[in-house]
């Protein structure tokens, strides 16, 4: 076959291939344009609703006084969760530096492969001691802790009974589990009791509430919740992100403030607020639960280990609170509340 004939033979399928690639590319560009239009419509709707969230760029370290890009002079900061100021405490900063130098920037791995260092185990032991629970498991955030708990603990034969104003991470975590779901009216013990009665046929029942509700500062009526849980044979879980470190005489949280530390079974909280303000979350509770979470909790199993500098800083923050009540008492309530519920607006800082 001559070269000219071979070229003619190849030309027809080549044209077909090029034509098909053009059509595919055209469809791809069309899909991208359509997706962009859909996304822009969503963004326009957020702007129109007045719920657009802008980001203020801080050019200094976190604190009560900060510098903000585009603003001149000192800015007073009333909206950070750095409740105890530990994110800029000299000993907390130094502990992070020393952990960085000794252990490196990160583990590049998950905990059960090659991502567990002795400093992780040390922090878990100190957090369990701080909360007076059996054991502790670390997560990348408390959002992950809430995402990892309910699916492992509760199955189709169980029930979860949740306050209607619980944090978004609790709501998302509950969605992942197959338990029967009940919502009770915000801090309404009568409605909680009704839900406990409705769920009596379940194997395990877990009452779920924020200790302090972050939007309005409501403090859950834990005494009444524990009373009902014990009456109907349920477990109690609290999210303590906005209480750990400063509520209660020793800063142990809402359960200490209200005298029910021995009656609340599971506590999730964060290292990203009062305890150094960096990142990380954790679950404390019965040893058997923590061991099961290490085996099955997906955010724990499939997320990189907390970076050593974060662990070092958080460890020093916890050590400071374990060593003295002075820091926690700098934000203490004037007296222990004797009623069933209150808000953080009733406190004196």
Whole-angstrom distance, CA of residue 79 vs CA of residue 273: 12
Q: Is 130 exposed, middle or buried (0-12, 13-18, 19+ CB in 10 A)?
A: buried
- In degrees, rounded to 5, the angle at the alpha carbon of residue 300 between the alpha carbons of residues 257 and 124 is 45
**DSSP strands (E only) in 194-312:** 205-210, 218-219, 235-239, 266-270, 281-285
Measured in whole angstroms, how far is the alpha carbon of residue 342 from the centre of its chain? Answer: 23
Closest CA to 239 of 218, 73, 259: 218
Q: Which of 89, 131, 273, 313 is catalytic?
A: 273
Closest by Cα among 145, 139, 148 to 111: 139
The catalytic position among 88, 180, 185, 214 is 214
Tell me, yes or no, if 65 is annotated catalytic: no
Nearest to 201 by CA among 156, 241, 158, 153: 158
- Tokens for 317, please give them: 């923050």
**Whole-Å CA distances, 210 to 106, 135, 168, 253, 268:** 31, 21, 11, 11, 9
| Total Cβ atoms within 10 A of residue 327 | 19
What is the distance between the alpha carbons of residues 70 and 55, in angstroms, rounded to a whole number? 12
Q: Where are the alpha helices (DSSP H) in 177-237?
A: 189-198, 222-232
To the query of whether residue 242 is one of the catalytic residues in this protein, the response is yes
Q: Considering the candidates 242, 297, 305, 313, report the single residue annotated as catalytic.
A: 242
Q: Tell me the catalytic residues.
A: 214, 242, 273
């Amino acid at each position: 076959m001559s070269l000219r004939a071979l070229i003619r033979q190849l030309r027809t399928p080549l044209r077909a291939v090029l034509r098909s690639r053009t059509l595919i590319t055209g469809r791809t560009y069309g899909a991208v344009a359509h997706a962009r239009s859909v996304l822009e419509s969503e963004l326009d709707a957020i702007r129109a609703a007045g719920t657009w969230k802008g980001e203020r760029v801080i050019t200094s370290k976190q604190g009560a006084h900060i510098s903000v890009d585009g603003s001149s002079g000192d800015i007073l900061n009333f909206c950070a969760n750095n409740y105890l100021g530990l994110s800029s405490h000299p000993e907390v900063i130094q502990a992070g530096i020393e952990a960085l130098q000794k252990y490196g920037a990160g583990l590049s791995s998950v905990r059960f492969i090659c991502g567990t260092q002795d400093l992780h185990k040390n922090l878990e032991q100190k957090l369990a001691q701080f909360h007076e629970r059996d054991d502790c498991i670390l997560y990348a955030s408390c959002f992950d802790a809430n995402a990892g708990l309910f699916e492992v603990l509760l199955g189709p034969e169980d029930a979860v009974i949740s306050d209607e104003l619980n944090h978004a991470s609790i709501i998302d975590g509950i969605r992942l589990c197959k338990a029967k779901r009940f919502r009770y009216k915000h801090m309404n013990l009568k409605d909680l009791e009704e839900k406990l009665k409705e769920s009596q046929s379940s194997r395990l029942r877990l009452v779920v509430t924020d200790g302090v509700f972050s939007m309005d500062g409501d403090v859950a009526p834990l005494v009444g919740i524990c009373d009902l849980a014990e009456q109907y044979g349920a477990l109690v879980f609290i999210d303590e992100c906005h209480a750990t470190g400063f509520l209660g005489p020793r800063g142990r949280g809402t359960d200490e403030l209200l005298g029910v530390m021995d009656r609340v079974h599971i506590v999730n909280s964060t290292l990203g607020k009062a305890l150094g303000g960096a990142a990380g979350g954790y679950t404390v509770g019965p040893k058997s639960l923590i061991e099961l979470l290490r085996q099955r909790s997906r955010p724990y199993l499939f997320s990189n280990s907390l970076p050593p500098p974060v662990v070092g800083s958080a460890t020093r923050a916890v050590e400071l609170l374990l060593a003295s009540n002075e820091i926690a008492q700098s934000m203490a309530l004037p007296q222990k509340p004797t009623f069933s519920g209150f808000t953080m607006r009733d406190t004196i800082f």
